[in-house]
Homo-oligomer: A and B are copies of this chain.
Amino acid sequence: MPRPSRWNDIVEAAAKIFQEKGFAAASLEDIASEVGMWKGSLYHYIDSKEELLLAVVQEPAEHLLSELRIVASLDLPATEKLRMVAQAHGHVLETTFVYASVYLQEVAGRKRSTEWAASDREYVRLITAIIEEGIARGDLSSQLDARTATFALVGALNWVTRWYRPDGPLSAGKIAEQICTTFLNGLITRMPDRAPAPLADIDPSAL
């Protein structure tokens, strides 16, 4: 379907309404009203609320996955790659918080389409491969179960959508960075020679 000129406004309004009301409670009337058109006019642009939801989340989700593909292909220690993954996550959250929340709440894990499920799987596979590589190279602990560690990291990062507030004291980027550092160093006090850099302002050369 061709997308006329108000398409971007509609997608943005949909994201806002989905975020405020949840997907189930949001109505096309709400979205039409938010963007200042009649519900009938909205049907020139979309066929259903589901179609609008996918439009809302597709671009940032694809962007994050393509960034992750690049990071995975770099010749860097796993610790650095994981920092870059967290950074990309934080950036998506910061710039498209509303969209990301809707995606994680309403699309991810629900297996609404095989295409989306395939993207989710590739995302997890790429991070698992980074951790496995880190274990093989000795950067990461050989005691790790790479798959569980991946889901733990992804879960911690995704869960940020549940508690992050754009007007809070920490930016999403800073939170994602702290989560990654927590994961890399662990909660237990480390010997100074193993964790020389402070959490907030880590020096990559120290790793």
Residues on A lying within 8 angstroms of B by beta carbon are 22-24, 78-79, 82, 105, 108-110, 124, 131, 134, 138-145, 148-149, 151-160, 162-163, 170, 175, 178-179, 181-191, 193-195, 198-200, 202-203, 206-207
Contact = CB atoms under 8 A, between A and B. Distances in A.
A139 B159 CA distance: 26
Contact of A156 (B105, B156, B163, B198): B156
A29 to B, nearest CB: 17
A192 to B, nearest CB: 10
A156 B156 CA distance: 5
Contact of A202 (B143, B186, B193, B198): B143
Contacts of A175: 148
8 contacts: A22-B110, A141-B199, A143-B185, A145-B178, A148-B170, A152-B179, A153-B156, A194-B194
